[in-house]
Amino acid sequence: MPLGEFELIRQFFDRGPARRALLGIGDDAALLAPVPAGSVIAVSTDMLIEGRHFFAGADPLRLGHKALAVNLSDLASMGAQPRAFTLALALPAVDEPWLAAFRQGLFALADRFDCELVGGDTTRGPLTISISIFGEVPAGAALRRDAAQPGDDVWVSGALGAAAWAVERRRQASGLGQSAVGDGDGDGDGTSGAHSAGGADCADLRLDCPEPRVALGLALRHLARAAIDVSDGLIADLGHILERSRVGAELRWPDVPQAAELAPLPEALRQRLALSGGDDYELLFTAAPENRIAVEALGRRLDLPLARIGAIAAGSGLAVLDARGRRLEIEHGGFDHFR
């Protein structure tokens, strides 16, 4: 006999009395201790749907990781410290091995960041994972999209394009043909987490197991002005900062860090993948030029490359320049669910 709903929660998601929460799973609401004096609460929500954000048959362990990782990444890009999350999970049926693997991926990441599952909802339906996450950040220290200023340097962590390249290869392997690379935010038409197509190399891992840049986000609280995570694609996400901050920017394509996997590819494809491909979950941020040395030192301390790729300008619009300072023609590319 399949597990019932309450037994399912007990067996897979309730790990006993709450550790940090005042009241965890099992009541009408969870209770969390207030944030420390001088801090505010950061809240974010994401929803992942089978066939849209990941392939049917996606590896449940990676899915458990990724569903939480994208939410941790949202907190990281605000400079917020993760504290707790809720999970709303719709499942077509109770599949115990699937649940055991999903749980493993989810809790392994949650435990690394001491972020506690405190409640949620479980129901039958098309496989859907919706996580809401709660964190804390000192008042006034949050890295908002609307805080960029003309003259700021534009920085990005890590390297870009690997996740979009994995999406592209999986599409080709699964016979989906020509794809629009650049549908970030895990939003390729069902592409993330398929372990059947493509093999598990580093690009696959970047796509399926993104590493939320939590430590970077925390350290940037007093170094950066604006920040966002690269989920829709570098150009689209920088566009969000420009729009909210009412400024423009110039990017230098030769300075954009490209994933090693992209090296053999033609430049036009590398540009599409690194500039318009999403899903890398690196942090894109702006900082005053006087903080350059401190930002570089931070990159060394975290053992995470931080590349200075452009500058914020007064006015509006985004120009991407090639090695000779000529303007590149780039499709905007950011993914939109309803276009």
With CB under 8 A as the contact rule, which of the stretches 32-40, 59-67, 270-278, 293-301 interacts with a second copy? 32-40
Nearer to a second copy, 235 or 262 (CB): 235
Q: Which whole-number Å values give the CA distances from 206 to 160, 201, 245, in the listed order?
A: 10, 9, 29
What is the contact mask toward a second copy in residues 110 to 149, using x (rule: CB under 8 A)? --------xxxxxxxxx-x-x-xxxx-x-x--x-xxx---
Among 2, 16, 97, 175, binds a second copy (CB under 8 A): 2
Buried b (16+ CB within 10 A) or exposed e, 12-24: bbbbeebeebeeb
Nearer to a second copy, 130 or 271 (CB): 130
Taking the complex as a whole, the smallest distance from the CB of residue 11 to a second copy amounts, in Å, to 12
- Which residue in 68, 75, 160, 224 binds a second copy (CB under 8 A)? 75
Cβ proximity to a second copy, 127 vs 207, nearer residue: 127
Which amino acid is located at 117 in the chain? L
State the maximum Cα–Cα separation within the chain, in Å, rounded to a whole number: 68
Q: What is the CB neighbour count within 10 angstroms for residue 293? A: 8
- Candidates 47-55, 159-167, 199-207, 318-326: pick the segment binding a second copy (CB under 8 A): 47-55
Least distance (Å) between residue 261 CB and a second copy: 27
The interface with a second copy within residues 209-228 (CB under 8 A) comprises 227-228
According to the binding rule CB under 8 A, does residue 69 interact with a second copy? Answer: no
- Distance CA(46)–CA(107), nearest Å, equals 17
Q: Which is nearer to a second copy, 19 or 124 (CB)?
A: 124
CA distances from 126 to 50, 52, 91 (A): 7, 11, 6
Q: Amino acid identity of 231?
A: S
Nearer to a second copy, 27 or 322 (CB): 27
Q: Does 15 contact a second copy by CB under 8 A? A: no
Alpha carbon 294 to chain centroid, angstroms: 24
Q: Detail the DSSP E strand segments found in 211-272.
A: 227-229, 248-252
269, containing H or E segment? helix 267-271
Site for a second copy in 221-280 (CB under 8 A): 227-229, 244
Given 61, 63, 94, 209, the residue binding a second copy (CB under 8 A)? 94
Place of tokens 């860090």: 257
